Amino acid sequence: MSGPNYISRRSRLLRTFKNAGIDALLISGESNVRYLTGFTGDSSWLYLSKTAKVVLSDSRYTTQIANECSGLDVDIRDARRPMSVAAADVVKKAKARRLGFEADHLTVTQHSALHARIESAELVSTSGLTERLREIKDKWELTQIREAIYQAERGIGVVRSSLRPDQTERDIRYTLEAAMRSFGATGPGFEPIVGVGPTGALPHAHAGDLLVSESPMLLIDWGAETRSGYRSDLTRVFVTGRVTKQMRTVYETVLKAQQKAIAAIKPGATCKAVDAMARKVIANAGFDKFFGHGLGHGFGLDIHESVRMSPISEQVLEPGMVVTVEPGIYLPGKFGVRIEDDILVTNTGHEVLTSVPREFDDAVVEFLA
């Protein structure tokens, strides 16, 4: 399969300029620059208009940009020429009149520097122009996401088969990261969350020194990053010891909530309505105050992208969107259960991209002697 069509991506973005009230855009978000150009470095911007397409970078990346960004003009600066000066020079040369900037990525200091140097153009705040394009994944992107899922799933298989009572959360994290790399990942898609017992009740915990043997409940939230920069995101809970009735009830409630929500995913459904399906199951079981975060999110080049599955999101699902569905119940000081899968919105409904078993019996781990 051929690679991404950057020309088409930039053309689609250009078509949004009229409604945004701009005739040019400075793209400073690192992932947005990568999405539109293929450049994998940092500290670089893209100036985009109908008449000019310029990558602004510095001398560290001269050769890399030449290799990765064919067909684009390049403005390379040295240490004596700040980015604000380089951007101002490009804007003046291109004769932009209404220059959009990414308000979600440009700092106040950077904006002030640009405003002081760009007198020929009005600076116009924009939000989400490129991010909205990134919500719909093309065939090449879906191939990359499937690869990231494969790497993550193979990695967790290694962790499960080698799990021991004397391992710490940190031991598991490092084993998982190494295993994903052995299957082709450049690294984890984000810092893996590994939580034994009460640590698992912290939705975004950091792996520490608790031993697997200190609780029968082990939560792992992990994903892989491919060489192309695309990511995956999964969560499973493993049962490593004697389980109480409460633990089983919580697990099965979360699983039911997740399956109800996944079943509701289809084109035209609102994120708010899908979120409500899961939240109702958890509330009916009496655990509503222990589920405080949104149901899920989009992902791709970033692990959190702009599709938001939450109680207040009116966003409508469209074919090509890829989202997580990850309800959870977190009992402070005891344990947490979150079950997360990656879902593609298709033309007729949805496809579950992840395949790690999720039933309660599948979660039970029997240690090797």
The residue from 104, 134, 164 where one domain ends is 134
Cα separations (Å) of 25 from 41, 53, 87, 199, 360? 20, 10, 11, 44, 50
Are residues 122 and 198 part of one domain? no
pLDDT above 90 as % of the chain: 96
Distance CA(298)–CA(305), nearest Å, equals 5
**Inter-residue contact 236 to 192 (CB < 8 Å):** no
> Does residue 368 lie within any of the structural domains?
no
Q: What is the CATH number of the domain that holds 67?
A: 3.40.350.10
Q: How far is CA 193 from the centre of its chain?
A: 15
> Is the per-residue pLDDT at 1 higher than 80?
no
Q: What band does 79 get if pLDDT is binned at 50, 70 and 90?
A: confident
Q: What is the CATH number of the domain that holds 145?
A: 3.90.230.10
- Number of domains making up the chain: 2
Distance CA(214)–CA(326), nearest Å, equals 25
> Does residue 189 lie within any of the structural domains?
yes
Q: Identify the pLDDT of residue 357.
A: 97
Q: What band does 259 get if pLDDT is binned at 50, 70 and 90?
A: very high
Q: Identify the pLDDT of residue 199.
A: 98
Are residues 165 and 109 part of one domain? no
SS3 label, residue 260: helix
The residue from 110, 134, 158 where one domain ends is 134
Instruction: Give me the torsion for CA of 156, 161, 165, 167, rounded to 10°.
Output: -50
SS3 label, residue 346: coil
Query: What digits encode the pLDDT tens for the residues 233-245?
Result: 999 999 999 999 9
> Would you tell me the crossing angle of helices 139-161 and 169-182 to the nearest 10 degrees?
130
Q: Identify the pLDDT of residue 368.
A: 61
Are residues 287 and 151 part of one domain? yes
> Does residue 343 lie within any of the structural domains?
yes
Distance CA(346)–CA(109), nearest Å, equals 42
Are residues 170 and 127 part of one domain? no
Are residues 165 and 103 part of one domain? no
Q: Identify the pLDDT of residue 120.
A: 86
Mean of all residue pLDDT scores within the chain: 96
Query: What digits encode the pLDDT tens for the residues 224-235?
Result: 999 999 999 999
Q: Identify the pLDDT of residue 70.
A: 87
Are residues 243 and 153 part of one domain? yes
Are residues 153 and 34 part of one domain? no
Are residues 254 and 162 part of one domain? yes
> Does residue 149 lie within any of the structural domains?
yes
> Does residue 1 lie within any of the structural domains?
no
* Contact partners, residue 126, CB within 8 Å, separation at least 6: 20, 22, 25, 100, 101, 102, 103
Distance CA(283)–CA(203), nearest Å, equals 18
> Is the per-residue pLDDT at 148 higher than 90?
yes
Task: Determine the longest span between alpha carbons in the chain, in angstroms.
Answer: 74
Are residues 246 and 115 part of one domain? no
Which of 81-90, 275-284, 329-338 shows the lowest mean pLDDT across its residues?
A: 81-90
Are residues 281 and 249 part of one domain? yes
Compute the average pLDDT of residues 115-142. Answer: 96
> Does residue 313 lie within any of the structural domains?
yes
Range of the domain at 289: 139-363
**Inter-residue contact 220 to 176 (CB < 8 Å):** yes
Are residues 351 and 207 part of one domain? yes
> Does residue 194 lie within any of the structural domains?
yes
Query: What digits encode the pLDDT tens for the residues 112-124?
Result: 999 999 988 999 9
Compute the average pLDDT of residues 21-50. Answer: 97
The residue from 80, 104, 134 where one domain ends is 134
Alpha helices in the chain (DSSP H): 6-14, 17-20, 30-37, 62-68, 83-94, 108-117, 129-134, 139-161, 169-182, 245-263, 271-284, 360-363
SS3 label, residue 282: helix
Regarding pTM above 0.85, the answer is yes
Q: Give me 52's structure tokens.
A: 């000019």
> Is the per-residue pLDDT at 145 higher than 80?
yes
Are residues 192 and 340 part of one domain? yes
